[in-house]
Chain A
Amino acid sequence: MEPLLSVHGLSVSYGRFQALHEISLAVGRGEVVAIIGANGAGKSSLLNAIMGQAGRVSGAIRFAGRDIAALPTPAIVAAGIALVPEGRRLFPSLTVEENLAIGWDLGRRGGLRVAEIYAMFPVLLARRHQRAGQLSGGEQQMAALGRALLADPRLLLCDELSLGLAPRIVDRIYALMPEIRRRGITVVLVEQDISRSLAVCDRFYCLLEGRVVLSGRPAETDRDSIMQHYFGA
């Protein structure tokens, strides 16, 4: 069976800087796949390329049986891919509810409803009429995740969910992974926090300087080897 997402020979460059060098990877239906790597390894470039927002892109990106490499971002979202961007990137002057409504509006208009997002994150219900810019980092991350889930994605891309958040808050956000899987949503997690992502993923890819240097299942790969590839030692 064809994987839900397959990337083949993908290169991304911004001006003269090449962020990704012909990388290939595949994500099966229902999997949680982690992309790990140090700062600048090309993790965000990979996600941006899948969303159709990277610089110069070559190679193939197939999603659910069709080539999406040349599609504009709105069509990619409508096809069922949603992104939780690095740094949350909510719209600060819009209310929480307006931010969530935009997620629904852009997506496939099915699956989760706003009320279910509020049930997942009760704190957002209390703050739904506040501007997103007034929320704490953790609340913003919950709203950003909620916005992406409301698009009813088949594939959810999460860019650095844990960045800049207290461990307690990160625990609460990661505690939702089983719920997200249960709904049949495939997840690609990009993280610098290795132990966090290896704990929840089925498989991982380790990037170093724009290339895949290691991949496998966390249980079958020893930590020292991962650390060596992570830092390129």
Chain B
Amino acid sequence: MLKKILIANRGEIAIRVASACRQMGITAVGVYSEPDRTAKHIQYMDEAYLLGPASPLESYLNIDKIIEIAKNADCDAIHPGYGFLAENSDFAERCEREGLIFIGPRAETIRLLGSKIESRKLVKNAGAPIIPGMELSSNNFEEYRKAAEEIGYPVLIKASAGGGGKGMRIVEREEDLADALESASREAKSAFGDGTVYIEKLLKKPRHVEIQILADSTGRTVYLFERECSIQRRHQKIVEETPSTALYPELRRKMGEAAVKIAKAAGYLNAGTVEFLLDEDKSFYFLEVNTRIQVEHPITEMVTGIDLVAHQIKIASGEEIPFEQKDLHQRGSAIECRIYAEDPENNFFPSSGKILLCSEPTGPGIRCDSGIYSGYEVTVHYDPILSKLIAYGENRRQALERMSLALKDYVVLGIKNNIRFLYDVINHPEFHEGNTDTGFIPRNFPEYQIPQNDNDKLKYALAAAVYHSEKKSPAVGVYGKSEAPTPWETLGAFRLF
């Protein structure tokens, strides 16, 4: 078993990984950028080392520095979390070369699956379904034109190196194809440094359904069922749930087996996610493989009872997966809401500033993986995810009721956030019916406004505001500080050492 792991990340995921390490008796080593000295993740580490200035390139993406710290601190492995270096094959390769275990797939697997065009080829050869489309990119417009004609309009242009919606264009008619190809390629080039684009069939109302897999070094590969992640804004997931309301046992098994087939074809090791689009007619198509632990992994943990991060560590230690496919079951229902520092009234623009007060919900079936606290300063340097709220219930209805209450009880004051928006999303009738597809947010919340406050509550709010402001000074501790002094402060001179 690994003894000491450097966690090359920040925020809630660094805390999640640290807690798995510490539970297993493994020393958790944290890293931080200058403004993150007081970030929450550092409080959960056994050791912590400074990476450098705020800029990700000088801190959480600084491969040389991370490797140097890991070696100096005598770490035997590095967990990359998600984002930052998690899907960087050069980093995985560098770890291997330096004698450090990268907790994730092998470098060549990351490289292979990182290319959309290469992975489409692999999936097709493995006999799993891909969206009808081009297998090769081309410099010849005529080939794109022919491909689009064969597939049938509307078509979707996508970037080979793509992600996050960059380099994507929907084309309805042939006469728009040339311009769309050109601008998509330009956008892909500036976003990913690679202007390669290809064409595939556009699904009208697809759902985003992904399959969690685990694979060990002996080749044993299992699937841990699906996560439905159709609720997205700007191509970013914000609400995820499992089981999906669109799957039935036979389809679930088919998708799970397809995911395992793809993983085996890629020589996959450790935890990963095979993403599919599910069409209205229940055909499913391969989208991509995420070669990392995902943001939404907790909902799978809730319904399977399997600690995915602990198994990542065990697999990286060389252990075999101790269960087989037939041992795995889904029990109950789980939903996750991503709490972001962003303004839902202003195109989800990221916000920053000081969290004046934070109070997180608890209760039956509630899990809150959080990277914030009262007084924490949200900076502009990193992803605006603040925390993840997860609700588990014996069925979907109870999970939703619990989530609804937990969102009401979630207090984050001082910065713009999406908590109220998430509440309105999960309480939308279409969501209740399980009628979710990737067009849900643009269709139902085109110009979102936070609902007006109930005037009945205003008197309570006003009383609280005035009392808080005026009574703040007198009714506190001896020195008028917000905390009462401890005996240590009042005892006077004292020798500790």
Real binding pair: no
- List the interface of chain A (C-beta within 8 A of B): none
